[in-house]
Structure 1
């Protein structure tokens, strides 16, 4: 695959060079200049550059483009970015996937992400605790592949960097109001301007609500509904000279009635599972059940007088201080300080079908297994950078990084199990887990320009991670309504324990080297070797004291990559391609243990990933823009025997589509007396078959999602009006499954949504 891609890249480069000469001839003949592609400035290499000048596989989406495609969340973003996909077990368990590498579920206080999430260059260690809907955003950058030098630990698959809009010294603002089906409303806006000659401010907010996409059949309550609010306040101080100080304070709060789970009979299982069989029995009694109806019920935990129903609550506060100071003509010093505190509460009925379903069923097969998670985090990060100003053949960067996390997590597991063969799942167990992570790093990078066409960059980072904590596994009760005399603790707890300490210290050196070739203004090619590292950790709900102190290992990756970037037709066409081969060692894999219906993390011995990705944009005429992207992956586990004793060697990596592509277009035309006032935009995102788990027994079939938007925006007006639709064809697809006892207990993606949007700028 890579050899073929190199040949294709060479042909494209030669063709691009010829195109440059042809364009020059046409311009000399007096051809009219045309609309060109948007130039997006990025900072993924810790220096400002254009997308086409950066020798890295990166996609950048401007705030204006996010608005055009109504990209409000990570799941929306995944539809438009090459090699990025997204699944989630719940809003707290977000699973990003870049190039086949999926985030380990962040159940444990010591767990780390595989895909780094950054907001204004501040690392967000527990992204699930943050309501990260996009609002008042300048741009989003998605870097693919390990970034072990500049971005550091836990960026083995790549990184998603969100850059919020800065305060401006010119007064202005904007407001948007949206109304849609499912009684959805969205209100957002910002105001910005000078406070003094050297101080500017910016206030922004967003309120978003919608009814549930799914229903509780018994109570009529919404499931997967949303009620959220976000706000951000900023100050930017730029006194005379080369000093800039930016302070950002943000707040978010959201809640819902929890998620919908529906049991689907696994076609590969030898027999039908208990939950899908019970659903079928209930459907026969009530005259049918819709796939978007389920029976999550309320439960009593030990010692409580009030039943708990499904509920999700999150609240987060963050503060960032960004200081930049020029040091003469030779360097710039930058300090980025970040603090984030967050609390989250999530109570979920894992099966979506309990024993008290209000309807008489032939047999009480559908046992219950609800989980309550109560989690909080305090995180502090500090990064210092010193960058050369880039004069001469050499450029360099040095820096240091520090991070301190304190996470407290309390889990309650409750089981009501009618099958005596599974009595170990009955009863109630609690886990109280307090973890701390301290991470330090130093890094440096140096670049040299050999001549006008060739340059090279090498860098290295040293990281040290210290993880420690205490965990208790508490046996609250053993029996349930079916097995009141059961004396076995509820799994996964085998032996109760109190305040068992755990600790792990790891160190890693992560180098990177890049060679860049720029033969002309049209072509840029690069070759990169990079090494990535992700910290190890400990289980969230260990079975006994021995399991509490047994860590899973860090994972590492070696990445080889070739990239080609072409800027054609005087800036009206753009083709970016990368081919890559990654070899992982001790890849961390999150999976469900059949013995306890619990989530554990294993190290797969090795994994190999090879792929190619391409992004294309073309301004066909001044009124027509076409765009698209595609990714093809070949993934494989090596020598991986999981916790259930199953050999997964040779299987495809979990939660990774075999291929993805997205295509779209935007047409602008006159409307009535208004010139270029009507814009229609359509995009289609498709992903191929995906294996849900390492055993490759359960698959998600290929599916595609169609989105569209029509906007009326007169050029001399301050207002806009839009009609939009998401998942226009109402495709049914899943965002997660739990495979157990012959069932695929599934979460569903959002159905067709549509609405109108009114915008005003001043």
Structure 2
């Protein structure tokens, strides 16, 4: 299928060129240009030879997208890898995402806030506060972005100070006792100095019932504030300062039991578990628990940045200096056995703190020249500190505890650039490169207190370091076949730096370095405007291969057959066994993406997206097994060959379609009707390919109606999410057989049930 599509794309471009050439002038219903900064210049989305989805403030508001997690509803290639807390949550693009959240591992998908890269995946997950737009760049990036990434970039861009005094207040009330509020004020302080101040907060009541105490959990509270100052010092020099703070608390993730089935004569063990959790009945749609330990997590982050833009003749010099911090206080990791008792006296809890400093310097040549370029330098320095405590009581009355403390320091500098040579009226050649140097070092210490059963030996303060350099590049050819469209073919290389496997059980003396992960990606794209500019259709066909894929595998202390010689983690003499971070092998992803936007009439607009993605494991001989697979004897050696399996969190098919109709009325307001449908194919939630962690396909319907004043000074919206009340999990996982033999649990969001609400906005 892939090859047949590839062969027809040039022919399709010619057909569309002929259609587009008829449109000498765009009609009054023509779509407005969408301006993006995917090439580090302000440029029309349709002129950019990169697969990028841009979501405006209006699009986010109409779809009731209030959290960065919800962006996956509007971008089919973007998926969420939902962990037990924000530290273990990340984005996945085209099937590529972070498979280990070790302290010394880089994210696979880079997230940015106003041009500032965020060093940890969890920093991306916050309320979307005063957003101007979100840009999702798909595939490896690096020749223009401050830190390379193998999967893609999610860039959150916030509103700037306005030239005139303005403001907005909003409030929302939703079913299930959920409340949101926010306010923004902006304007000039002097003729050259402007400001913007925004604050918001939300309170979400719990929605998962716990029979142990009768309360409801998985609720959250958060608040945030952001301030910006913009000083136009001269006609050619402007400075912009931004500061933000975000704080969130939640009692999540409480995970209901999904299934527990007898296997191998353990019927009595299964019945014992069922008796303990009664009246809970495990099922695919179970939303209740019976547990005696509740998770509690608080995370906060802050940031300051100074952006300087200086026009030097026809050239532009940009400097972005930033510092950010991120803290997670895991007050309780919650219930590890899914029951109203504490089996084996086992408990664990962790805290982490991250601080980073970045400096980016860019020079852009005149954009209208036949040869133009953007070149830059980038520096990144990060420190991550983590403490993890694990306790046992194997023998009643003899508790034991182990405390591991570790710190990872990462420094990265790079020189990057991208140039465009327009060698004819309709042909452009784009080429870019990035040279990167990474340095990574860590310190590790582990102590024991009390009875030592199940806790590794004490480790005195020790550590290691490593460094790496890389040169990656990009080549692209772009054909502007008419004023209304273009097609491009690109080859891009990606790079993800070296890593160490820092966990509670780390042995820092024998710890092997994990090699960098690299990728090679081909992309054939088409961007066109048809029907007098009323229809915008963008297509991308891609094929990418990732080598030295960084992931985890389980190794047995009794020896592992057929250990590859080049696998640093695979040693038959390893003792004890457990999960290790390794260079697993090779994975690939290929598929077709489509973005659609059309103004069907003066009052009716539709938009949508489609992603058909085949993300596969090509080579993973010593792959991880789930707890259920090991219990059922499907992994007798503690590992399995995962070659040919699916990459997790990547459905083969995902699509969304939305429509908005404006009923223009005389008087004080118009009425706007909104509706959308989203479909997601079945998805595997684990690398291990356990059939019990496969989530079913589902379809969701949303609907809403808004009353909007003619002057746009006020708006009242009424909406329903998940109209048909269709339950779907965000994650499925198996439990260790020592706690729940052959048992599986799931996590789910509040949007997995019908939710309705009302939102009011007033602007001036």
Q: Give the corresponding residue for 1:601.
A: 581
Q: Which SS does the other structure have where 2:122 is aligned? A: helix
Q: Give the corresponding residue for 1:118.
A: 112
> Cα distance, 1:265 vs. partner?
2.4
Matched, 1:311 2:299: no
Rounded Cα–Cα distance in structure 1 between residues aligned with 2:329 and 2:393? 22
Rounded Cα–Cα distance in structure 1 between residues aligned with 2:36 and 2:264? 52
Matches within 5 A, 1:8-407: 8-24=8-24, 33-89=27-83, 90-106=85-101, 108-129=102-123, 132-151=126-145, 153-265=147-259, 280-282=274-276, 284=278, 291-298=286-293, 309-329=294-314, 331-346=315-330, 347-351=332-336, 353-354=338-339, 356=341, 369-407=346-384
Q: Which SS does the other structure have where 1:75 is aligned? A: helix
> Cα distance, 1:279 vs. partner?
5.3
Rounded Cα–Cα distance in structure 1 between residues aligned with 2:700 and 2:197? 34
Q: 1:457 aligns with which of 404, 421, 430?
A: 430
Q: Which SS does the other structure have where 2:20 is aligned? A: helix
**Residue deviations 1:611-670, cap 9 Å, x none?**
111111111111111222111122222231225421111211122111211112111113
Higher alpha-carbon deviation: 128-137 or 456-465: 128-137
> Cα distance, 1:524 vs. partner?
0.8
**Residue deviations 1:36-56, cap 9 Å, x none?**
334221101111101111110
Name the CA shift for 1:267/1:281 in 2 (closer, same or farther; >3 Å): closer
**Residue deviations 1:387-430, cap 9 Å, x none?**
10124311012111101101110111234569x9xxxx994322
Higher alpha-carbon deviation: 716-725 or 110-119: 716-725
Q: Give the corresponding residue for 2:643.
A: 649
Q: Give the corresponding residue for 1:489.
A: 454
Corresponding pairs, count: 720
Rounded Cα–Cα distance in structure 1 between residues aligned with 2:551 and 2:186? 45
Higher alpha-carbon deviation: 589-598 or 258-267: 589-598
Kindly indicate whether the alpha-carbon contact (under 8 Å) linking 1:274 and 1:743 is maintained by their aligned counterparts in 2. Answer: no
Kindly indicate whether the alpha-carbon contact (under 8 Å) linking 2:394 and 2:453 is maintained by their aligned counterparts in 1. Answer: no
Q: Give the corresponding residue for 2:463.
A: 501
Matched, 1:431 2:404: yes
Q: Give the corresponding residue for 1:761.
A: 763
Rounded Cα–Cα distance in structure 1 between residues aligned with 2:554 and 2:193? 53
**Residue deviations 1:706-727, cap 9 Å, x none?**
2222111121362111111222
> Cα distance, 1:314 vs. partner?
1.2
Rounded Cα–Cα distance in structure 1 between residues aligned with 2:421 and 2:177? 57
> Cα distance, 1:703 vs. partner?
1.7
Q: Give the corresponding residue for 2:716.
A: 721
Name the CA shift for 1:286/1:6 in 2 (closer, same or farther; >3 Å): closer
Rounded Cα–Cα distance in structure 2 between residues aligned with 1:267 and 1:17? 59
Q: Which SS does the other structure have where 1:218 is aligned? A: coil
Backbone CA RMSD of aligned residues: 2.8
**Residue deviations 1:687-740, cap 9 Å, x none?**
111122222113111122322221111213621111112222222222223324
Rounded Cα–Cα distance in structure 1 between residues aligned with 2:510 and 2:47? 48
Name the CA shift for 1:381/1:278 in 2 (closer, same or farther; >3 Å): farther
> Cα distance, 1:339 vs. partner?
0.4
Matches within 5 A, 1:538-617: 538-541=500-503, 543-546=505-508, 549-590=511-552, 600-617=580-597
Q: 2:689 aligns with which of 676, 688, 696?
A: 696
Rounded Cα–Cα distance in structure 2 between residues aligned with 1:524 and 1:15? 12
**Residue deviations 1:512-555, cap 9 Å, x none?**
11110001111210111000011122223253535763222211
**Residue deviations 1:188-247, cap 9 Å, x none?**
121110000000000001111110121332123332111100000110011332111000
Name the CA shift for 1:743/1:274 in 2 (closer, same or farther; >3 Å): farther
Rounded Cα–Cα distance in structure 2 between residues aligned with 1:270 and 1:627? 52
TM-score, normalising length: structure 2: 0.89
Name the CA shift for 1:473/1:550 in 2 (closer, same or farther; >3 Å): farther
Rounded Cα–Cα distance in structure 2 between residues aligned with 1:637 and 1:338? 38
Rounded Cα–Cα distance in structure 2 between residues aligned with 1:670 and 1:599? 61
Rounded Cα–Cα distance in structure 2 between residues aligned with 1:367 and 1:383? 51
Q: Which SS does the other structure have where 2:709 is aligned? A: coil
Q: Which SS does the other structure have where 1:161 is aligned? A: strand
Rounded Cα–Cα distance in structure 2 between residues aligned with 1:678 and 1:84? 31
**Residue deviations 1:102-158, cap 9 Å, x none?**
12343x321210000000010011242565210101100000000121125451110
Q: Which SS does the other structure have where 2:363 is aligned? A: strand
Rounded Cα–Cα distance in structure 2 between residues aligned with 1:548 and 1:705? 50
Unaligned runs of 5+ in 1: 299-308, 358-365, 479-486
Name the CA shift for 1:95/1:367 in 2 (closer, same or farther; >3 Å): farther
Rounded Cα–Cα distance in structure 1 between residues aligned with 2:503 and 2:258? 27
Kindly indicate whether the alpha-carbon contact (under 8 Å) linking 1:604 and 1:638 is maintained by their aligned counterparts in 2. Answer: no
Rounded Cα–Cα distance in structure 2 between residues aligned with 1:599 and 1:545? 13
Higher alpha-carbon deviation: 213-222 or 584-593: 584-593
Matched, 1:708 2:703: yes
Name the CA shift for 1:272/1:165 in 2 (closer, same or farther; >3 Å): farther
Name the CA shift for 1:261/1:717 in 2 (closer, same or farther; >3 Å): closer
Unaligned runs of 5+ in 2: 558-575, 625-637
Q: Which SS does the other structure have where 1:65 is aligned? A: helix
Rounded Cα–Cα distance in structure 2 between residues aligned with 1:287 and 1:53? 55
Q: 2:487 aligns with which of 525, 535, 543?
A: 525
Q: 2:672 aligns with which of 675, 679, 695?
A: 679
Kindly indicate whether the alpha-carbon contact (under 8 Å) linking 1:385 and 1:399 is maintained by their aligned counterparts in 2. Answer: yes
Kindly indicate whether the alpha-carbon contact (under 8 Å) linking 1:467 and 1:504 is maintained by their aligned counterparts in 2. Answer: yes
Kindly indicate whether the alpha-carbon contact (under 8 Å) linking 2:515 and 2:548 is maintained by their aligned counterparts in 1. Answer: yes
Higher alpha-carbon deviation: 534-543 or 175-184: 534-543
Name the CA shift for 1:647/1:368 in 2 (closer, same or farther; >3 Å): farther
Kindly indicate whether the alpha-carbon contact (under 8 Å) linking 2:262 and 2:270 is maintained by their aligned counterparts in 1. Answer: no
**Residue deviations 1:295-354, cap 9 Å, x none?**
3434xxxxxxxxxx521111211001100101122x111100110122211222253624
Higher alpha-carbon deviation: 589-598 or 256-265: 589-598
Q: Which SS does the other structure have where 2:18 is aligned? A: helix
Matches within 5 A, 1:665-676: 665-671=659-665, 673-674=666-667
Kindly indicate whether the alpha-carbon contact (under 8 Å) linking 1:116 and 1:160 is maintained by their aligned counterparts in 2. Answer: yes
Kindly indicate whether the alpha-carbon contact (under 8 Å) linking 1:354 and 1:367 is maintained by their aligned counterparts in 2. Answer: no
